[in-house]
Amino acid sequence: MLIKILGSGCAKCNRLEQLTREAVAELGLEASFEHVTEMDKIMAYPIMTTPALVVDEAVKVSGRMPSKDELLGWLKAG
């Protein structure tokens, strides 16, 4: 599983990465993380605001902080 956090590296982006890492660990999944901060790479995704979470190239959320339950649901679904 490849998980990307899209954002400039602001506090919300870092918090999203931390929460996602916790959810991955809780589920016992194997995942690699990538923090995408380059604006041209971020704009390649269909999002309007950051932070955004991309799991295996599928955008799961952008512009808001998801709940832990949401994260767990998305990660379980793969």
**Residues acting as catalytic residues:** 10, 13
Bond preceding residue 51 cis, omega within 30 of 0 = yes
Beta-strand ranges (E) seen in 1-78 are 2-6, 32-36, 52-55, 58-62
| Cα 29-61-63 angle, rounded to 5 deg | 135
**Token pair recorded at residue 66:** 């998801």
